[in-house]
Structure 1
Amino acid sequence: MSGTSIDLAAEGGGVSLSGSNVTFVIVALVFALIALGFAAMFVQSVLRAGRGTAKMQEIAGAVQEGASAYLFRQFKTLAVFVVIAVVLLFLLPVHDTDNETWVKIGRSLFFVVGAVFSSFIGGAGMALATRANLRVAAAASEAGGRETAMGIAFRTGGVVGFLTVGLGLFGGALVVLIFSSDAPTVLEGFGFGAALLAMFMRVGGGIFTKAADVGADLVGKVEKGIPEDDPRNAATIADNVGDNVGDCAGMAADLFESYAVTLVAALILGQAAFGQDGLIFPLIVSTVGVVIAILGVFITRLRPSDRNGLTAINRAFYISAAVSAVAVAVVSFLYLPSSFAGFNDAGIAPEIVDSGRNPQWVAIGAVVIGIVLAAAIQALTGYFTETTRRPVQDIGKSSATGAATVVLAGISVGLESAVYSALLIGAGVYGAFLLGGTSITLSLFAVALAGTGLLTTVGVIVAMDTFGPISDNAQGIAEMSGDVDEKGAQILTELDAVGNTTKAITKGIAIATAVLAATALFGSYTNTLASSLAEAGIAGDQVQNQILNLLNISNPRNLVGLLIGAAVVFLFSGLAINAVSRSAGAVVMEVRRQFREFPGIMDYTQRPEYGRVVDICTRDAQRELLTPGLLAIMAPIAVGFGLGAGALAAYLAGAIGTGTLMAVFLANSGGAWDNAKKLVEDGAYGGKGSEAHAATVIGDTVGDPFKDTAGPAINPLLKVMNLVSLLIAPAVVAWSIGNEENTALRVSIALVAFAIVTAAVIWSKRKPISMGEDADTAVAAGAADTAKAAQEAQHDDAAAQSRIKDNVG
């Protein structure tokens, strides 16, 4: 834009923190440890609750065993990627430092730290959730069951929230304390480790959970007419395991990497904007987030007068958001000067000093924009996915004319909601950007601060998300065991409905954080380009012109990069959805086989082989996650080294724009289909067992991989691609601008990356649709089963429930 300048990094390497800033970093570390202490305290509180009957414990034990086995196998698979990434990170050049070897070691080391933290949060959250679900189910039948059951579920989510803010802040503050002004480069490794593991866990867990869910629904509900968590369905245990490895482990890791990567972007841009004070201030804001997490979890209490649990959760969220805004305003006035001239001794760029902005109000405005954006996304997502709103009700009405119209209605809802969500997120990004005036670096720092501000409430957001699968599993355990009375079952049904809403809301907020973080990282990328160009010998006054030339979208090379970035999002989504389709096909064949070969399952005289379905989902999830993961890592490398730094920037822009729309479309379509099914199951349009019910079940099965696999996985995808681009930018510039002798090496790297992606996609496409049986035989047997089911009378749910207690064990 006219009059806009691009500011170079304010400080070189090797500058130590001042004494007062060291104190602030230590305080941040202390608060991080306090958050971890609260997590340990809440773990003990949850585990002290009653464990229910022996049959309930047996079911919960099976879910725990399956979930733990899956995660152990997944971590073994991902260990190979971690080792390779550590080596490559050490080989990649760094810029703007006097301690290159030391910084490379730190970047590689903290990549491992980020990956371990992401894995630990996902694994620990899942381990506690698989123990809390049993306790929630048991508490539902006790005195004060509604309040007690919800308290256990939300405190469990609070543990994951405390781990997220505690480990994220601890890692960021530790890097700043050790590496001082070299911290931004080291933090790239920390963020990359968190994002890479989160993406793999999100994709793998999503494939597992939705393969089991789709397979269970298609055979159980549609073909056999039995309830969702009926123990006669061999896929029920796998379905409950999937809720934990996908929605607990996967989403917890996803939100942690959102927190970590947003903090990383804020620290990088903060230092670029006004030196070490800009490096410290995001840590102060994140420290406020620790206090808000503790407050939010403690004040989430279900009152007898509350209509449902969502009332209590919303109340706590909005109070936490308001307190967060006030607290950030206070620390902004205490820490920041009233004029950017006060940062002169930190080497602040003259363009920022001359902008006439008040740094206190820039910080407060950015953080408030982030908090307001979270609340607005919550309201908008609720409108398009709640059963009481018109979009879901319209989908329910369309079920009267069959599954095709249900699918069409859901797609239209998703497409429309994506427009409004994108405009809302865009307004938030642009509003924060305007705070910086004529300085792009300051504007992008404001965008990063908006993301950091939004994530001051991440402790409550994570607790809301984990609440969903815990309540879902609790209802499943109650239904499978038959040991929960009618009043307790009603309480668990209510909590499950609340959990579905909170999961949809947190997915929307996660998408918003992904866009803010990706935009900030995009700014970090351009800042890295400036430093790399200066090191490549470009004169200082020519760097800005060189960057503007590189980013010129009229350049056909950049337009190609833009198209490839958009296309990668489509390919990634298609691979994830197709992976669920293939794995779900295998589950359907296996469940049909068991019903066919063990006819006693239907009258409870034979027990299904639950472990077979768990094994299928585990094996397929590990096999299917490799191709999307390689695509996310190798595509930016191919574009950057093949087409250049400008094309890589355009690639990121195309991916961010398309990814935002695609993620919202997939998440909201899936959520609307899911709740339309629940609307019919609650008695609307014929209720359970009707043709309308069958139509909405089909819509829900289509939406399952949309909302729980492909959609959420786009969040870490965007950040992984941004971080890979940030890491390779110095090499791309060094080997392309003024160094034509490196052309052969650069093109060779691009061709190798392209070949790896091509081979992975071809390998993925050649996988069989089903496993374990000849496809033709399986399809014929399935068709016979469906025809037979259509001739049978619909099962009476009440009669089925009375027999469930005799099944498991």
Structure 2
Amino acid sequence: MSGSLSAAGEISLSGSNLTYIVVALVIALVALGFAAALVKAVLATGRGTPKMQEIAGAVQEGASAYLVRQFKTLGIFVVIAVVLLFLLPVNDAGDNETLIKIGRSAFFVVGAVFSAFIGGAGMALATRANLRVAAAAREDGGREKAMQIAFRTGGVVGFLTVGLGLFGAALVVLIFKDRAPIVLEGFGFGAALLAMFMRVGGGIFTKAADVGADLVGKVEKGIPEDDPRNAATIADNVGDNVGDCAGMAADLFESYAVTLVAALILGRAAFGEQGLVFPLIVSTIGVFVAIVGVALTRLRKSDRNGLVAINRAFYISAVVSAVLVSAAALFYLPSKWSGLTGSTSALDALKAPAAGADTPPFGPHITAIIAVVIGIVLAAIIQALTGYFTETTRRPVRDIGRSALTGPATVVLAGVSVGFESAVYSALVIGAGVFGAFLLGGGSITLSLFAVAMAGTGLLTTVGVIVAMDTFGPISDNAQGIAEMSGDIDEAGARTLTELDAVGNTTKAITKGIAIATAVLAATALFGSYTDTMKTALADAGEKADDAATAILLNVANPGNLVGLLIGAAVVFLFSGLAINAVARSAGSVVFEVRRQFREFPGIMDYTQRPEYGKVVDICTRDAQRELITPGLLAVMAPIAVGFGLGVGPLAAYLAGAIGTGTLMAVFLSNSGGAWDNAKKLVEDGVHGGKGSPAHEATIIGDTVGDPFKDTAGPAINPLIKVMNLVALLIAPGVVTLTVGGGNQAARYTIAIVAVLVIAGAVLLSKRKSVAVDAGDGNGAASTEAAPEKVTA
């Protein structure tokens, strides 16, 4: 981190390392070129029937209108954050503190813009690809062609992620060299903050529409999921794009960016010059891995389903990644610590360890190889583990489907049980990965944390394939919706789209699991950066800041630290509750609106009247914009309140509590939701009575409960953890200045009180709207207050 090397002197990048950075920039542009080529290939495919095009056009219009409105709202937060970032003090800025502050604020905007662009571009292409996937399913060989179009569209988002993430990080290193870690804090924070808002807002929109559509259409009226008579169907399809495409694409980009930022910050501290360059080399390899993975994902006629093809390409990509990274480490890094360049206190200690001190068990090259391989293996295990708990062919989902024979209550209980169990195994696997990487550092905490960050970077060498897997899900879901609403699909085509949709549910769950793993790895590295920042700031303040003093600060036997730990865990619960409650409130409005239309326009059921699709899109847009503010303010203000209110140690404990609880909560919510969804698919395929049976109705209830779990609260915890870590990292020097050695107590407590009041006010404001919203006419009609923007479907 930025403050850890103040005594080290500046690092002057050598000519060869500057060449590597320039090559990384060029390769990043190559990734963007591949994205453009895939866009052209996707858009060149058939667009289906006029009816399909009409429905897809309505989805495109609604999704674009929502995203424009969301960016206008988020622009306010970006402006405020830029000003605050410039005002916050920095450590180790040298003689150019003002320039470094400007750079940090500027690249905060760059990170936010990149995150927004990836989300927006991914959504724009997905709303066009879904039509083409539906059209391809009608043709001969439609199963293979539809799969290829959907995955290639995801590949575009994957190439944008690796290309822009690598380009931004490499550009910062090229411009700011040894001071790059300070500026990179801003780049990562911009990506993470915007991704969290997009994930929460998009998740609220998509699940409010989905839950409302299911409760009235499938449960009350007994019509299919994407029946055009349901006024919420267009909003549901719009939501898939703004939530699962735009929101998740931004989320995975910030995972990539923040993990790379953590590796670069700690690499400088651990390895000096080479530690600042090697993570960029690994990320450059990730571009080639993405090319291999997307090219190899082809569905064979012999494959049982699309997941077989995706898994095959992913595992081959992982092996290719491990081989290429190993070759790069052997070529670039020396075999002994004495061969490292640069001069830092941590590096000098490794070169000449004190008598009796622990030393790393391996040389730099082997240490880096093992750390990266740990990350790659972790991704593979998480993929297999998540697939086991969410695939329709595995026992957990089949058990949930069987529980539907006794009603919705047992379906809910079975899904909760699956979520809890899967969270334990996932947490143990992630913990083993973190600890394994940590052991590589021997007696050096800095090197151990760098190994953890490199494990995250290694995991994300496959991010191009991971993002493609995630985007594949909502595209397949939308394609099925377009085909069903248009009626222009035969039985074979419908069967193909149903299969792809079920595969998409699993791939979405897998990518969420992998994103959570990267969040833990990045948060652990950033947590180490935070403690290192505190040590430097304490030293600058004249306080003792050796390892023993840091251990005392993190001792949970200290009541203040225990309180910080509890608050960190509680924030994860409150954040999740706010997100789920927001969906419930908005879904209530959708339910009343859809009921009103069925009641006032009886011709809807016999197709003589057309539903007012735009009304439901308006409701979801309005509610999502209003509801995303409170969780966002909680994520930013809670670390500020704890840091300035309770002090240095409690803030560290707060982060530890948030990381531990957030990991378990995120996996629980995501996997239980995914299992419920696929249990419904299982019954719809004819098991336990099929569509329209009591078992089907029971699984619909389970799926409805799981919707905000897996697509709103669960995935939003991932950026939440990193946003809170980055906020703590950014305010650390200010916390020390105001709290250590007397400080300015009045300013300290004023900041803390203001932060608490902002959180309290936001939470109370969000509670003013009841779950059941109507116009007060006694008929349960949805509120008719004017929406800021009306979208006519």
Quickly name the TM-score band, shorter chain normalised. over 0.9
User: What is the identity, as a one-letter code, of the residue corresponding to 1:731?
Assistant: G
Deviation string, structure 1 residues 681-740 (Cα, Å, up to 9, x no partner): 1111221111111111111100000000000000000000000000000111122212x1
CA RMSD of the aligned region, Å?
A: 1.6
In structure 2, C-alpha distance between the alignment counterparts of 1:345 and 1:744, rounded to whole Å: 42
How far did residue 12 of structure 1 move?
Answer: 4.8
1:377 and 2:382 matched: yes
- From the superposition, tell whether residues 206 and 13 of structure 1 become closer, same or farther in structure 2 (CA, over 3 Å): farther
State the partner residue of 1:3. none
Q: Which residue of 2 aligns with 1:790?
A: none
Contact 1:677 1:697 in 2 (8 A): yes
Moved more, 762-771 or 178-187: 762-771
Does residue 493 (structure 1) correspond to residue 495 (structure 2)? The answer is no
Give the letter for the 1:547 counterpart: T
Contact kept? 2:274, 2:341, Cα under 8 Å: no
CA contact (8 A) 2:560 2:646 kept: yes
- The structure 2 residue matched to 1:253, chosen from 250, 253, 266, is 250
Give the TM-score normalised by the residue count of structure 2.
Answer: 0.96
Paired residue type of 1:275: G
Distance in 2 (alpha carbons) for counterparts of 1:67 and 1:11: 51
Instruction: Give the Cα–Cα distance (whole angstroms) in 2 for the partners of residues 243 and 77 of structure 1.
Output: 20
Matching of residue 232 in structure 1 with residue 229 in structure 2: yes
Q: For residues 390-447 of structure 1, what are the alpha-carbon distances to aligned partners after superposition, in whole Å with 9 as ceiling and x for unaligned?
A: 2111111211221111111111111111111111110111011111111111001000
CA contact (8 A) 2:589 2:782 kept: no
* More moved, 480-489 vs 692-701: 480-489
Tell me the amino acid that sits aligned with residue 252 of structure 1: A
Aligned equivalent of 1:97, options 72, 89, 93: 93
Candidates 89, 108, 113, aligned match of 1:111: 108
Q: 1:696 to 1:254 in 2, by over 3 A?
A: same
Mapped to 2, the partners of 1:617 and 1:103 lie a distance apart of 41
Answer whether contact 1:203 1:710 (CA < 8 A) is retained.
yes
Instruction: Give the stretch that moved more between structures: 547-556 or 361-370.
Output: 547-556
Given that 1:14 and 1:97 are in contact with CA atoms closer than 8 Å, whether structure 2 keeps it comes out as: no
Shift of 1:312: 1.1
Map 1:124-523 → 2, pairs under 5 A: 124-343=121-340, 345-347=342-344, 348-353=346-351, 354=353, 355-356=359-360, 357-523=362-528
Matched residue SS, 1:619 = helix
1:302 positional shift: 1.5
Separation of aligned partners in 2, 1:375 and 1:218? 37
Which of 700, 704, 707 aligns to 2:703? It is 700
Q: CA deviation at 1:104?
A: 0.2
How far is the alpha carbon of 1:70 from its aligned partner?
0.3
> Which residue of structure 2 lines up, in the alignment, with residue 67 of structure 1?
63
Per-residue deviation, 1:456 = 0.1
Moved runs in structure 1, 4+ residues, more than 4 A? 10-14
Amino acid in the other structure paired with 1:68: S
Indicate yes or no: 2:640 matched with 1:637. yes
Q: Label 1:629 to 1:82 Cα distance change in 2 as closer, same or farther (>3 A).
A: same
Q: Which residue of 1 aligns with 2:686?
A: 683
Provide structure 1 residue ranges, at least 5 long, that are not aligned to the other structure.
1-6, 782-807
User: Does the 8 A contact of 2:9 with 2:343 survive in 1?
Assistant: no
Instruction: Determine the structure 2 residue equivalent to 1:34.
Output: 30
The match for 1:612 is 615
- Alignment match, 1:531: 536
- Stretches of structure 2 that go unaligned for 5 or more consecutive residues are 354-358, 784-791
Aligned length: 774
Residue number among 576, 580, 587 corresponding to 1:577 in the alignment: 580
Residue pair 1:11, 1:275 contacting (<8 A) in 2 also: no
Q: Between the two proteins, what is the percent identity of the paired residues? A: 78
Task: Tell me: CA distance 1:742–1:581, structure 2 relative to 1, closer, same or farther (3 Å).
Answer: same
CA shift, 1:351, in A, is: 3.5
- Determine the structure 2 residue equivalent to 1:769: 771
CA contact (8 A) 2:592 2:782 kept: no
Aligned counterparts of 1:737 and 1:548: Cα–Cα separation in 2:
17
Within the alignment, does 1:653 sit opposite 2:656 as a pair? yes
1-structure distance, mates of 2:659, 2:626: 27
CA–CA distance in structure 2, aligned partners of residues 770 and 678 of structure 1: 29
Tell me the distance in 2 between the aligned counterparts of 1:139 and 1:773.
44
In 2, Cα distance between the equivalents of 1:10 and 1:757?
35
* Amino acid paired to 1:205: G
Q: Do 1:533 and 1:543's aligned partners in 2 also have CA atoms closer than 8 Å?
A: no
TM-aligned CA deviation for residue 772 of structure 1: 4.3
What SS does the corresponding residue of 1:349 show, helix, strand or coil?
helix
Could you tell me how far apart the structure 2 residues matched to 1:538 and 1:179 are? 30
CA positional deviation for 1:10: 7.2
Aligned to 1:733: 736
- Shift in Å, 1:490: 1.7
Q: 2:600 aligns with which of 597, 600, 604?
A: 597
Deviation of the 1:487 alpha carbon: 2.0
Contact persistence 2:158–2:463 (CA under 8 A) = yes
Cα distance change, pair 420–741 in 1 and its aligned pair in 2 (3 A): closer
Check whether the contact 1:13–1:97 (CA below 8 A) recurs between aligned residues. Answer: no
What is the alpha-carbon distance in structure 1 between the residues aligned to residue 620 and residue 55 of structure 2?
A: 18
Quick check: 255-264 or 765-774, which moved more? 765-774
Residue aligned with 2:691, SS: coil
Secondary structure of the residue aligned to 2:316 is helix
Encode CA deviations 1:476-496: one digit per residue, 9 max, x unaligned.
Answer: 111111112222222212211
Task: Note if 1:749 corresponds to 2:747.
Answer: no
Query: Which amino acid in 1 is paired with 2:753?
Result: L
